[in-house]
Structure 1
Amino acid sequence: MGTSEHVPLPTDEAKAKELESQHSEEPDRGQWTGKFDFLMSMVAYAVGLGNVWRFPYLCYKNGGGSFLVVYAIFFCLAAVPIFIMEVTIGQYLQKGAMEMWLMCPLFRGVGIGNVVIAFMCIAYFCVIVAWAMFYMISSISWVFPWETCTNYWNDATCVTGKENVTELARIKALVASAGGHTQTSVEQFWEKRVLHDTGDIAEFGGIQWELFFIMAAAWLIVYFALWKGITQARKFVYFCALFPYVLIFVLLVRGLTLEGAADGIYFYLKPNTTRLLDTAVWKDAGTQVFYSYGVGFGALIALGSHNKFDHNCFKDAITMCFINGCTSITAGFAVFSILGYMSHVAQKDIAEIVKPGVGLAFLAYPEVASNLPMKQVFAVLFFLMITILGLDSQVCMVEGLFTALEDAFPILRKYKKLSLGIFCLFFFILGIPMVTYSGSHWLTLFDAYGASGYALLFVVFFEVVGLAYGFGAHNIRHALKEMVGINLPVWIEYIWKFCAPATSLVLFVFCIVYYHPVKYPTGEDFPVWANVFGWFLSSCSMIVIPGYAVYYLLFTNKHLTFKERIRKGLNLDGSFESPAKRNLVNNAEELKFIESSPQ
């Protein structure tokens, strides 16, 4: 059977000829061969760290059941429609995030914005993987290194939480007299042993060499997973997609059998209907939806571009959206049942134990693991899960970014192993500042400004607008019908044209209105220059959208009038018949000719 391949929809004759000549020379981009390859790749990409540590904390923080209601609204109005839109366009055009905008060149800056956001995220994801691997290795010990205050990195302010009342009072009085405050052994292991934290983003101090070499190992895994193309890495994709569910299930079963688990789950889901009127809840739920489902990074478009023309991407997209949501909720049950046990053992309120973001994985859980029966087994399983979730998301994001670059520069595909090696080496070098003694603060800065929040919402808004009005919401419906025979109801066009862009725009405004400078774990603000640099990181992905549009209108197609350039930029007069469909027809006609030829 002949394989069908797409070529991007041209915007002018010169570009069409150039692409036609490239298409005949460039190597095959690769296609998924298994029935579930695409679905598993999406699970590996979208189900990640945010499901395990960010969703449970936000749900607890924002009123439990009330947060789930708001989350469900954004799920229906934004996540599912945009998810379907991205994978459909990727499969229909079979191009990455940058080159697909040849069909609507005025919005090509959106593709560049997708690439820049992916760039920011890729820069630090292997650092988080290195942290998780460090903890996993440290867990292979009869006594966890974070359980005691007798290690070389501990100081006089260290407490384990197991001291008697008299001893604890003595330590606190001694520390207070020196003008300090106590730290738990878990906190000191994280700050003084894992990070070697200087406490100041400007003081690099030196390189934490253990994290350096672990990060190098993580990048080698990413490279060898992709060096033959992600479509050839089926075993890796399937393992990374499915094995974390085994680990989540084991942790869930163990957590639910612990004493105090019911209290933890109650705190997790305790409804607080008054929070429905709190704008912070809507902001947190909306941004979590966009972050968790991975829209706006270009990776979904790239993964979809490896599908065959008639693959049922709609069914896979819907399935994936529900898998993602259910994974977040299930992970919350697993995490909070264990936190409930810790609350029971330590006789502390659960609010004193749960910590936001990265602290939930690297501060709360190590403390909990110290009190679990068979603690070594469950600590290794937990940090192995974090490692795998980080690696598979990183692999898919690298694939998305590298596919976009391959489409823009086809020679990279011809020398894939070499160019991918240089690509991974570049990002490894870029991550080195994040394994210095101030590295965690740089990672926080990149995460808060460059890879999520303002920048992501801004890019997603223009992506949806560009696809819904440039390519055309009706054309997306027709493309889906051409490929898989599914005729979506007309109202989906109104969601694509109005609800989805309005959702991302409102959330963007919320983030600006309720902006707070990034803070250290101590609660102090980052220095002004750091926050200014953070806004520069955000602007890198935002400014290219209007910037490229201005460039296109002023410096291209000068033989046309301004009005004609706008029409050409939006491709208002263009045809959106899929070249891949023509290939399928040609293949069918060739097959009929062969069968009808005299033997």
Structure 2
Amino acid sequence: MDEKNKPKTSVEIEQPKIECLKERAQWSSQIDFLLACIGNAVGLGNIWRFPYLCYKNGGGAFLIPYLIMLFCGGLPVMLLEIGLGQYMSRGGLQSWNICPLFQGIGIATFLMCFLSITYYIVILAWGLYYMYASVAMGIPWGSCFNTWNTYRCASSNEELQKRLCTSEGKYSSSISNGQTLENMSLINVTLHNSLINTTDTNCSMSNVTAVDPAVEFWENHVIQISDSIEDGGGIVPQLAVCLLVMWILVYFCVWRGVKWSGKVVYFTVTFPYVILLILLVRGATLPGAGNGIKYFLSPDFSRLQDAQVWIDGGTQVFFSAAIAIGAMISLGSYNDFHTDFYKHTMIVAGINSGTSFLSGFAVFSVLGFMAHEQNVDIDQVAESGPGLVFIVYPKAVTMMPLPQLWAILFFLMLFLIGIDSGFVMVESVVAHISDMFPRQLYKTKGRMILTAVLCFYGTQWDFLWCPG
């Protein structure tokens, strides 16, 4: 048969002509790309959001809307983003030149990515300070004898009653005249031995509610919450230092481009899984862990009738996979034009979902132990968001043997999981801008200056989050 008359079995796709394409960096290997995508997708939301949503929305039944939303929404969008970036060899802004009508999407993703970095780095700074406190200060959230503690600091209302009431039901006589309990730190209140052993039930302090030391450490020392929105407070020194350290680390993770950051992810992506498995084994061997895992998994299919469950499933898919903010487009843009990104997308989505599920076991085994130790229902200890990782889990750690070790491991895991997402988002913003000025910014020196400027302004922006 003549060559001209042979039937075509495939369509040969040609790469569009791109300015300075040969000067644009590419991944050293596909493993670098795969690990970077996993680091971008797996973040803090896998630890503090998915387990609670699963528990809140019907346990194992929540996996139905989650998986449906993953296959119907999350995977197609991830494929689109990586494929678009790979085809155009451009970041989120320039990739949408493929259809000028959609260029507004590129602008929106650029703004979303930059704004996401600013608050994400702040959260990582909180975790970094907790890790520092675990190493240098022991477990400071485990006791009430610190400068930031108030008179209400106690692990239970019963303990608070014993501390504040005399056998006659009066305040401690050793408090100096003119002072009130409300404006005194606990370490400045001298208590009689009789207060510790009081059994009086008619104490006039019976209406005072105890505040756990973990809560006071978080609110009074770490973020130093002010009394009102009108009181901006001053810069919290420890947070300012941690923010500066975080931005310096992020800068040195991406300053030399993807060939450098592609090597960083070999450690920052893989080592958190080692720690997560250690924490899972430790949690599973604690008393009450089985009850916590039961709460996490027990299916309640009646919850599927609630529209909010399906909304939570969809938002978790997009939130945890870090899609629709342009980062995946930028990562895909550093691929070789003929890379099989379909296979990599499947792997990333599978590992991201598996990490969420594994985190649920690790978190709820500890919550079950905590509920068992306090003799309360797990509803009273289960939380989502920052409250889980900065209050509930640290409090649970104080109840374990070797609490300092588990605190260090937990916050090291959070730090490594989070910094991946942080520097990938910075890399995405750098790609957005450098693609607009390829002749100047594709060069190593130009890229380093651009990255330094972005990190500098990001640091200044984040200082707005430092006042108490």
Shorter-chain-normalised TM-score: which range?
Answer: 0.7 to 0.9
- Residue pair 1:158, 1:182 contacting (<8 A) in 2 also: yes
Match of 1:258 in 2: 286
- Residue pair 1:27, 1:413 contacting (<8 A) in 2 also: no
Alignment of 1:379-398 (within 5 A): 379-398=407-426
Match of 1:291 in 2: 319
- The size of the alignment, in residue pairs, is 419
Any idea what the Cα deviations from partners look like across 1:400-428, whole Å, max 9, x if unmatched?
A: 11101111232333311111101110011
Distance 1:292 1:429, change over 3 A: same
Identity %: 38
- Residue pair 2:321, 2:349 contacting (<8 A) in 1 also: yes
Instruction: Indicate which of 244, 254, 263 corresponds to 1:216.
Output: 244
1:367 and 2:395 correspond: yes
Instruction: Name the CA distance, whole Å, in 1 between partners of 2:78 and 2:271.
Output: 24
- Matching residue's letter, 1:320: V
1:89 and 2:118 correspond: no
Match of 1:184 in 2: 212
Instruction: Indicate which of 28, 39, 47 corresponds to 2:42.
Output: 47
Cα deviation, residue 232, structure 1: 2.1
- Residue pair 1:206, 1:436 contacting (<8 A) in 2 also: yes
Any idea what the Cα deviations from partners look like across 1:293-330, whole Å, max 9, x if unmatched?
A: 11111010000011111221111100110000000000
Match of 2:441 in 1: 412
Distance 1:367 1:188, change over 3 A: same
- Matching residue's letter, 2:414: I
- Residue pair 1:141, 1:376 contacting (<8 A) in 2 also: no
Match of 1:537 in 2: none
Q: Relative CO higher for 1 or 2, CA cutoff 8 Å, sep ≥ 6?
A: 2
1:145 and 2:140 correspond: yes
Alignment of 1:455-494 (within 5 A): none
Instruction: Name the CA distance, whole Å, in 2 between partners of 1:118 and 1:84.
Output: 19
Any idea what the Cα deviations from partners look like across 1:34-59, whole Å, max 9, x if unmatched?
A: 23111100011110100011111111
Match of 2:7 in 1: none
Cα deviation, residue 207, structure 1: 0.4
Structure 2 gaps of 5+ residues are: 1-13, 172-180, 182-203
Match of 1:80 in 2: 75
Instruction: Name the CA distance, whole Å, in 1 between partners of 2:162 and 2:442.
Output: 65
Match of 1:126 in 2: 121
Instruction: Name the CA distance, whole Å, in 2 between partners of 1:165 and 1:98.
Output: 57
1:402 and 2:433 correspond: no
Cα deviation, residue 166, structure 1: 5.7
Distance 1:91 1:260, change over 3 A: same
Instruction: Name the CA distance, whole Å, in 1 between partners of 2:350 and 2:384.
Output: 25
1:110 and 2:140 correspond: no
- Residue pair 2:289, 2:368 contacting (<8 A) in 1 also: yes
Distance 1:226 1:179, change over 3 A: same
Cα deviation, residue 235, structure 1: 2.6
- Residue pair 2:118, 2:458 contacting (<8 A) in 1 also: yes
1:240 and 2:271 correspond: no
SS of the residue 2:146 aligns to: coil
TM-score (ref. length: structure 1):
0.67
Instruction: Note the aligned Cα RMSD (angstroms).
Output: 2.2
Instruction: Name the CA distance, whole Å, in 2 between partners of 1:112 and 1:142.
Output: 45
Distance 1:219 1:73, change over 3 A: same
- Matching residue's letter, 2:389: A
Instruction: Name the CA distance, whole Å, in 2 between partners of 1:77 and 1:222.
Output: 34
Instruction: Name the CA distance, whole Å, in 2 between partners of 1:267 and 1:318.
Output: 30
Cα deviation, residue 178, structure 1: 10
Cα deviation, residue 373, structure 1: 1.4
Instruction: Name the CA distance, whole Å, in 2 between partners of 1:364 and 1:95.
Output: 43
Any idea what the Cα deviations from partners look like across 1:520-571, whole Å, max 9, x if unmatched?
A: xxxxxxxxxxxxxxxxxxxxxxxxxxxxxxxxxxxxxxxxxxxxxxxxxxxx
TM-score (ref. length: structure 2):
0.85
Deviates more, 1:58-67 or 1:294-303: 58-67
- Residue pair 1:142, 1:376 contacting (<8 A) in 2 also: no
1:347 and 2:388 correspond: no
- Matching residue's letter, 2:155: T
SS of the residue 1:158 aligns to: coil
Cα deviation, residue 151, structure 1: 0.8
- Matching residue's letter, 1:417: M
Structure 1 gaps of 5+ residues are: 1-5, 10-19, 438-599
Instruction: Name the CA distance, whole Å, in 1 between partners of 2:164 and 2:67.
Output: 47
Cα deviation, residue 343, structure 1: 0.9
- Residue pair 1:231, 1:306 contacting (<8 A) in 2 also: no
